[in-house]
Amino acid sequence: MKKSNCCRLMSFVFSVAFVFAAVAAGDASKDSYVDPNPYASYGAAMASKARDPMAVEWQNRCDRAVKAATAPDVLASHVSSTCAALSLLKCVKGAYATDPLVLIVVASTTQYVMDPAADRCRCGCFRCGDARKVWSEALLLRAGSTSDAYVAMLCLDQLRWCGFPSQVAAVRNIGEKSKDRAVRDFAAMVARELAK
C-alpha cells in the first residue's frame, strides 16, 4: 500500500514538472510570436507619420482653417444650389487622396442641412428644408456619376445621414449598376437606412 501511494505521489510530481516545462517552452514561443498586424501593439498603433497624420494631430494643426471652412454661412453657400454642392463634391478625389479639410467640410455640410436649429432664412439663401434637398440630390448625382468606388462610397456614406425615403430606389439603382462589390454592399445598406 505504502509503495503504491509513493508511486502515485511521484507520478503527480513528475506531471507537475512536465507542465512547468511545457509552460516555460510556451513562454519562449510567446516571446518569438509576431502578430500578423503591424499595428497590434499600442505604441505602433499610436505612432505618427508626418505624411499620414492622425485626425487629432491634423485638427490641432488646422484648427483655424477648419473653423473658417465650417462656419455656418460658408456651409450655407455650398448648398445654395445644386451647382455649388456638386462643385464641393468634385473636390473629393479617389483612393483616399482627398484633402482632409474637404472631407470635414463635406461631413459638416451634411450635419448643417440636418440641424433642426439652423436658421437658414436668416442667411437669406433659400427656404428652410431646401438645403437638405439640394445636398442629398447632389450626393446622389455624384455617387451615380462617378466610376471611382471610393468617391461613390463617400457620397453614399453621407447620404445615409441626410437622405430621404424617396431616394431609396435611386440608391438601390446605383448599387445594382455598379461593378464594384463594395459599392453594391454600401448602396444596399444605405437604401435600408433611408427606408426605415
Partner 1 sequence: MKATRRNFLKRAAGMSLFTIAPAHVLWGGAAPSNRLTRALIGFGAIAQSANHLPFNGSRLIGLCDPWEERVRHGLALAENGGWGKIKAYGNFMELLADKDVDIVHICTPPHWHGCMSVMAANAGKDIWCEKPMTRTVGEGKRVMEVVKAKKRMFRLNTWFRFQGRFYGFGTTVEPIRQVVENGLLGKGPIKCTFGAGQGFSWKFGWSGRVNAAPEKVPQGFDWDMWLGPAPWKPYTAHRAGTSFRGYWDYDSGGLGDMAQHYLDPLQYLLCKDDTSPVKIDYIGPKQHPEAVGRFDRITLTYDDGTEVILDGDESLKGEPLLRGANGLCVYPKAKDGKTLRLVDRTGKELDAEKVLSELPKPAPQQTDFIDSCKNRKTFALNESNGFRSCTMFNLGIVAERLGRGFEFDPVALRAKNDPAADRFLYQSMRSPWDREMWG
Q: Which of residues 83-112 bind partner 1 (CB under 8 A)?
A: 95-98, 100, 103-104, 106-108, 111
Span from 123-131, 134-142, 148-156, 165-173 in contact with partner 1 (CB under 8 A) = 148-156
From residue 161, give the alpha-carbon distance in Å to each of 17, 75, 123, 132.
Answer: 61, 16, 23, 11
HEC letters along 113-145: HHCCCCCHHHHCCCCCCHHHHHHHHHHHHHHHH
Look at residues 111, 181, 173 and name the one whose alpha carbon lies nearest to residue 143: 173
Residue 154 CB partners (closer than 8 Å, separation 6+): 92, 103, 106
Least distance CB 39 / partner 1 (angstroms): 3
Site for partner 1 in 48-67 (CB under 8 A): 49, 52-60, 63, 66-67
Would you give the DSSP letter of residue 92?
A: P
Site for partner 1 in 165-194 (CB under 8 A): 181-182, 185-186, 188-190, 192-193
Site for partner 1 in 16-35 (CB under 8 A): 18-19, 22-23, 25-27, 29-30, 33, 35
- Answer for which of 76, 79, 151, 154 binds partner 1 (CB under 8 A) is 154
Least distance CB 154 / partner 1 (angstroms): 7
Helices 100-114 and 149-162 pack at an angle, to 10 degrees, of 30
- Answer for which of 2, 3, 179, 196 binds partner 1 (CB under 8 A) is 196
38 lies in the site for partner 1, by CB under 8 A: yes
- Answer for which of 76, 139, 143, 153 binds partner 1 (CB under 8 A) is 153
Least distance CB 54 / partner 1 (angstroms): 4
The cell for 95 is: 483612393
Q: Nearest-5° angle of CA 23, CA 26, CA 31? A: 130
3 lies in the site for partner 1, by CB under 8 A: no
